[in-house]
Copies of this chain bind each other. A is one copy, B any other.
């Protein structure tokens, strides 16, 4: 099956079968690494990096060179036309007319989706703000697969900055989809964002359970740093039944975590922290994985993983330990990216006979596409940037109406509008232009195609709507 002309914006653009089909091709690439390949000869990859990066950019560029292709590259926001106020869409169209495939990293969330919409060639998201970094996830999964033969049923603890770490977000979706159980081990103040957890439940059928830390001494190893923290354990129910009821009984978790398969460590994403003071505090209390921690018997055969770069959260003394996987992970980025590039350029095919829809295709939420009422509340979202609002159409998925939840199609942040109205109530009749509270029973009566939402009463009134009798009551 060909993946030609597809883009990889989020890990959900690939079906489970497609994800797993990348790995044998990566094995092939790995075996032929030292022979000059001509798989992608005559093809050009544009490598557009608008944020600092060594590893990811060089890894992609190495992959393209090893495939026999060429690379054109832009490194810095100051060195590009964006400094002249050009939009992402214009850049995408132009670069798409030069190159055969585009790899992009950008601090704004949703940029890769915009580029994919406009470029006309396959686009790979190499990190968009705190949103996603799907090829890192492919590398992580590939390492798990190589070391444990399967991902289904693995027990994996995610440790550190679960709030800003985009690698973590892509990874937990993928692990959950592929049948692994994950344990969240955030640094203080760095919990997994609610919208990510919510999505795990609604989109992947995961159970998210909170376990008080004092019930789980063994679960968390010698977690000195998180004495008073509580722990989230996420159990997934992929296609099989949910067999592990989580009750406040110490025996089950202990049994469950007799041994971790992997401990995935991440650094504090300092560049995402707004206040310096916040950064200093978070830094001080940030968890550290070291030899002492890894002496715990639950870590006996645990793969220690890290997307790198590391700062202080993973001690150098672990490097020589056979459990350390992070340099292998980095090295494996090259064959994985070679496989992916070759697939999206149509130079290779995946060995899948029956088609399976990807999670991104599977979602059938109705859309909210009005250009008024609400805008994305995420200040890093591409859709609210000055240079982009001139052309980007606001677009939200209506995820649920209890409570009413819209999800930005660009950055996937969620928004909970407080007021609603319906476009079929007031056909020309001004007195019918009423708005209601979003938590009233009206929310279930308005068809999605008629739904109008407002984030405030003043916004509703500025559009000529009047409060219903109960709109202003709490």
Q: Chain B residues near A84: list those with CB within 8 A.
A: 52, 267, 270-271, 309, 311
**A311 CB to nearest chain B CB (Å):** 5
Q: How many residues of A contact B (CB 8 A)?
A: 60
Structural contact, A312 and B390, CB atoms closer than 8 A: yes
Partner of A81, one of B66, B75, B99, B309: B309
Q: Residue among A84, A308, A311 with the most chain B CB within 10 A?
A: A84
**How many subunits of this chain does the assembly comprise?**
3
Closest to A317 in B: B391
State whether the Cβ of A423 lies closer than 8 Å to any Cβ in chain B.
Answer: no
State whether the Cβ of A244 lies closer than 8 Å to any Cβ in chain B.
Answer: no
Q: Chain B residues near A327: list those with CB within 8 A.
A: 93-94, 97
State whether the Cβ of A157 lies closer than 8 Å to any Cβ in chain B.
Answer: no
Structural contact, B35 and A95, CB atoms closer than 8 A: no
A59 to B42, CA, bound (A): 15
Structural contact, A80 and B97, CB atoms closer than 8 A: no
Partner of A75, one of B41, B75, B316: B75
Interface CB pairs A-B, < 8 A, 21: A36-B41, A44-B62, A44-B65, A49-B79, A52-B79, A54-B81, A55-B81, A55-B94, A65-B72, A76-B78, A76-B79, A81-B309, A84-B270, A86-B310, A91-B309, A93-B330, A94-B327, A97-B331, A98-B331, A98-B334, A316-B390
A89 to B57, CA, bound (A): 18
Partner of A86, one of B78, B86, B308, B331: B308
Closest 8 pairs (CB-CB, A-B)? A36-B42, A97-B331, A86-B309, A65-B70, A316-B391, A62-B98, A54-B81, A81-B309
**A449 CB to nearest chain B CB (Å):** 24
